[in-house]
Structure 1
Amino acid sequence: MKIKSILKQLAVVTFVVFAFACGGSDDGGAASSITVTGNPSTVFAGESVTFTVTNNLGANVTTSSELKVGGTVISNPYAFSTAGSFEVTATSGGLTSTTTITVQPIPVPTSITLSSTTDSFWYDDGQASLLVVTNLGNEVTVNSTLTADTGVVTNPVTFANPGTYNVVATYELEDGSTLTSNTIELKAVESTHTTKVMVEDYTGTWCQYCPRLAYALEQAVASNSNIIPVALHDDNDMPFPNITSLLNTFNITGFPSGRVNRTINWNESTAQPAALLNNRQNMGLAISSSISGNTITAEVKVHYDLKITSENRIVVYLLEDGLVYPQINFYNGDPSSPYYQQGNPIQDFVHDNTARTTFTDVYGDPIPFADAATGSTFVANYSVTVPASVQNTANLELVAFVVGTDNKVLNVQKADLGEVKDFD
């Protein structure tokens, strides 16, 4: 009986404790405090602060809270317009919390710097984009006045005439004072060089179709002297020392093959290379040479109207005209061909513009960047021993050309041995 009584008392106590525990959570654990924070807590005047309010239970109650500064309700986020230290009070469900926001005055720049995307460009279709930055790192280009020797200019800057122009920027502060930038020099450049185009004829005396391309090249050159021909032979009569390397590099798999400016397949029309003559190039070339005994010396100059953005290289060929060797002729029976009934082979076929050797690496020697700036002139001096294959030094000529990193010819010049060929 005592055991039953004790068990009954324990059950009652347990029920009371359970009921009391449950009764204590009926209100859901009401919050007893809130905390307001500002992000960031230190700002410049005019910058916004975002406020967050949380209660001691970890719940975000920002949207149900009211924010005040000096008794005035403010929005969230809020931008303080003046400098100072401000107490922000948040109220939520009768609970309050305060945080302090420090507002610093907007820093005032003390200097500005003017820069440009380029210091030189073609005056008639080029431009330079300018940038004005304060010493605080803020860009103020659109709020600055840009002035050149010609007067106020817009950005990007262009000029109606070639020349060198000094440009400066001014920036007015809120107090009416003015900051003046450094002065930069811009060169509006005029093109002074003629663009020429090189056509290389990969050929051989054994090649029965090669007379066709040789004739097409002859006609192209006759129509425009700025088309420069070079014949690269792969035969036993007039072999070019670097022919195998060129065949592999430029993927020459059949003869005849023509290449315009080294890398463009020629369709054997005059129009194709002639169209490239309208492409303005940054540079032009000049050649002078002489022969003494068995040694040829040459000076080649490359003048840059406008600087380059990638490496250039220079190649110089030695060519010979007037070489007579029999030429296989598929067109002997073709009435429409200029070689109709000329024989097969043509016994007295004259081979002109035949490459004999190079003064440089066949793919070019580098032109230093310092010598390829706007207005700069690169000068190179070469010498070569007359190849044993040369038949008549009076028929020698030099072809010099500049190539880019892709091996494409940018500009070319041709001169007879002993001739002084100036820039044109």
Structure 2
Amino acid sequence: MRIFKFLFLSVLFVGLYSCSSSDDNGSAGSASISITPSTSTQIIGEPITFTVKTDADEDVTATSNITSGSTILQNATLNSYTVGNFVVKATYGGKSASVTVTFTDAPPTSIILLANSTNLSQGDKTTFTVKTNTGINITQSAVIKVDGNPITGGEFTSNVPGSFNAIATFENFTSETVTIVYNPAINFRKRVLIEDYTGTWCGYCPRVAQGIDLVMAQTEYAVPVAIHRGQDPYNFAGASVLESLIGLQGYPDARLNRLTAWAYPEPSNVSQVISYTEGTAPKLGLAMTANVSGGNVSLTVKTKFGKTMTGVKLVVYALENGLIYNQTNYTSYYGGGSTIVGFTHNHVLKATYTNILGDEIPSSESVYDNTYTKTYSFPVPTNVSNSANMEFVAFVVGADKKAINVRKAVSGDDQSFEIIE
């Protein structure tokens, strides 16, 4: 009898493994599996059981590996005494599938559909969240439709203006309708920031200065900033963090909109800079009111958002023009010669009124059609030789640390936003 039983098991073992590969538990040819809970929501203390099937509708629950986190589920059953969402994963034959289930301390009586914003500009993303009235997040298990069309990942974007109605369903519950309004985006004049890392001691730096002169002769929409470094009467010590940001290797180094290298040789690549003032208009604009009087600076910077943005920061500089100092020169520009005597240094960075990497604009302020206003009042910086030659630069950087748009002003300016119809 024992011999017969051994032979039977041996034949069964060989039979099973002779028709399956090393990553197939016996369902040869199945392309996928699915895992289905007995219910997607359960009261804590009560079980949820799971069924695993192949794409051929073969029930393989008993031979599947079913886990929740690092816990292996026995008898394909999950029970929790903690409220929350749980991801349950099934693995079989080298294939896997997962499902999210929810344990709640009381059965829900309704569901609520929430949107991160209901007033946006075209192209913005709406993120939806679905919760039970008991506070359980069931977004992954709910079905969300916008104007009758299901969306995936709880996100929706419209590239055209209009109103859109969203609704969520979950089991036998239906949420109230949430209306999302997409407004036409507001476009602004596009300007380019040039940050020139330079020095009076730097013999090749006149090359970038010449490039800036050529740019300024072709467009009024470029905003240069000369950041002097090293053994220099205009050295701006606070620039080291910027040099780390761009990975500066030597001088000169010129960057467009903070991060993009202006291609060498700069005077031959003016078109690169000009291209940054053309093309798709930014959805953010700036306007400044500036006044320098009695040894004090009063500056108001307004930022208007043509679409909702996140992770944006404002940077404000104080510069000085018309500074006369000899410039070392290894180039043929400005008449050549090893020293340019009495060279005029313009757009020299003297102070920052924000963190040099930017002060965060609250997400509650960086929303469609809102104007964020900051006012600065400071004494004229002690390193400024002539306050009448001061100018101010404000720009906003995105979460990627690139400048989105920039504007400059001088004392007496009372600017309005440069909106493009």
Task: Give the TM-score, by structure 2 length.
Answer: 0.61
C-alpha spacing 1:242/1:126, structure 2 compared with 1 (3 Å): closer
Task: Tell whether 2:243 aligns with 1:274.
Answer: no
Q: Which residue of 2 is the match for residue 387 of structure 1?
A: 381
- For 1:199, the aligned partner's letter is I
Q: Give the Cα–Cα distance (whole angstroms) in 2 for the partners of residues 131 and 369 of structure 1.
A: 18
Q: Is the 8 A contact 1:120 1:306 kept in 2?
A: no
1:212 to partner: Cα distance: 0.7
Q: Which residue of 2 is the match for residue 258 of structure 1?
A: 254
C-alpha spacing 1:160/1:309, structure 2 compared with 1 (3 Å): closer
Q: Give the Cα–Cα distance (whole angstroms) in 2 for the partners of residues 291 and 344 of structure 1.
A: 37
Provide, for residues 365-406 of structure 1, a one-character-per-residue CA deviation record: whole Å limited to 9, x for no partner.
221221112222221111222123323222211001112344
Q: Give the Cα–Cα distance (whole angstroms) in 2 for the partners of residues 192 and 304 of structure 1.
A: 9
Q: Is the 8 A contact 2:113 2:175 kept in 1?
A: no
Q: Give the Cα–Cα distance (whole angstroms) in 2 for the partners of residues 244 and 119 of structure 1.
A: 42
- For 2:393, the aligned partner's letter is V
1:361 to partner: Cα distance: 2.0
Q: Is the 8 A contact 2:291 2:299 kept in 1?
A: yes
1:115 to partner: Cα distance: 5.4
- For 1:272, the aligned partner's letter is Q
Q: Give the Cα–Cα distance (whole angstroms) in 1 for the partners of residues 253 and 109 of structure 2.
A: 66
Q: Which residue of 1 is the match for residue 413 of structure 2?
A: 419
- For 2:276, the aligned partner's letter is L
Equivalent positions of 1:7-46 (< 5 A) are none
Q: Give the Cα–Cα distance (whole angstroms) in 2 for the partners of residues 250 and 170 of structure 1.
A: 46
Aligned to 2:342, what secondary structure does the other structure show? coil
Instruction: Name the Cα RMSD after superposition.
Output: 4.1
- For 1:397, the aligned partner's letter is E
1:318 to partner: Cα distance: 0.7
Equivalent positions of 1:392-407 (< 5 A) are 392-407=386-401
Provide, for residues 110-141 of structure 1, a one-character-per-residue CA deviation record: whole Å limited to 9, x for no partner.
97765557645543x56758899999977455
Q: Give the Cα–Cα distance (whole angstroms) in 2 for the partners of residues 251 and 130 of structure 1.
A: 39
Q: Give the Cα–Cα distance (whole angstroms) in 1 for the partners of residues 159 and 340 of structure 2.
A: 58
Q: Give the Cα–Cα distance (whole angstroms) in 2 for the partners of residues 396 and 308 of structure 1.
A: 31
C-alpha spacing 1:412/1:421, structure 2 compared with 1 (3 Å): same
Task: Tell whether 2:227 aligns with 1:232.
Answer: yes
Aligned to 1:254, what secondary structure does the other structure show? coil
Equivalent positions of 1:195-214 (< 5 A) are 195-214=190-209
Provide, for residues 338-364 of structure 1, a one-character-per-residue CA deviation record: whole Å limited to 9, x for no partner.
4234x4311132111111111122222
Task: Tell whether 2:359 aligns with 1:365.
Answer: yes
Q: Give the Cα–Cα distance (whole angstroms) in 1 for the partners of residues 240 and 125 of structure 2.
A: 44
1:290 to partner: Cα distance: 1.0
Q: Is the 8 A contact 2:185 2:283 kept in 1?
A: no
C-alpha spacing 1:393/1:340, structure 2 compared with 1 (3 Å): same
1:211 to partner: Cα distance: 0.7
Q: Which residue of 1 is the match for residue 211 of structure 2?
A: 216
Task: Give the TM-score, by structure 1 length.
Answer: 0.61
Q: How many residues align?
A: 311
Q: Which residue of 1 is the match for residue 165 of structure 2?
A: 167
Q: Gaps (5+ residues) in structure 2?
A: 6-35, 40-49, 52-107
Q: Is the 8 A contact 1:168 1:180 kept in 2?
A: no
Q: Give the Cα–Cα distance (whole angstroms) in 2 for the partners of residues 244 and 183 of structure 1.
A: 49
1:296 to partner: Cα distance: 0.4
Q: Is the 8 A contact 2:187 2:282 kept in 1?
A: no
Q: Give the Cα–Cα distance (whole angstroms) in 2 for the partners of residues 314 and 411 of structure 1.
A: 10
Provide, for residues 80-137 of structure 1, a one-character-per-residue CA deviation record: whole Å limited to 9, x for no partner.
xxxxxxxxxxxxxxxxxxxxxxxxxxxxx997765557645543x5675889999997
Q: Which residue of 1 is the match for residue 243 of structure 2?
A: 247
1:162 to partner: Cα distance: 3.9
1:184 to 179, 185, 210: 179
- For 1:246, the aligned partner's letter is L
Q: Which segment drifts farther, 365-374 or 233-242?
A: 233-242
Q: Give the Cα–Cα distance (whole angstroms) in 2 for the partners of residues 159 and 169 of structure 1.
A: 16
Task: Tell whether 2:317 aligns with 1:317.
Answer: yes
- For 2:317, the aligned partner's letter is Y
Q: Is the 8 A contact 2:299 2:376 kept in 1?
A: yes
Q: Give the Cα–Cα distance (whole angstroms) in 2 for the partners of residues 131 and 248 of structure 1.
A: 39
Q: Is the 8 A contact 1:319 1:353 kept in 2?
A: yes
Q: Give the Cα–Cα distance (whole angstroms) in 2 for the partners of residues 180 and 210 of structure 1.
A: 64
Q: Which residue of 2 is the match for residue 375 of structure 1?
A: 369
Larger radius of gyration: 1
Q: Which residue of 1 is the match for residue 82 of structure 2?
A: none
Q: Is the 8 A contact 2:166 2:180 kept in 1?
A: no
Provide, for residues 304-350 of structure 1, a one-character-per-residue CA deviation record: whole Å limited to 9, x for no partner.
2222233x221111111111211112224xxxxx4234x43111321
- For 1:237, the aligned partner's letter is P
1:196 to partner: Cα distance: 2.0
Q: Is the 8 A contact 2:283 2:305 kept in 1?
A: yes
Identity %: 31
Aligned to 1:381, what secondary structure does the other structure show? strand
Q: Is the 8 A contact 2:200 2:326 kept in 1?
A: yes
Q: Give the Cα–Cα distance (whole angstroms) in 2 for the partners of residues 355 and 158 of structure 1.
A: 41
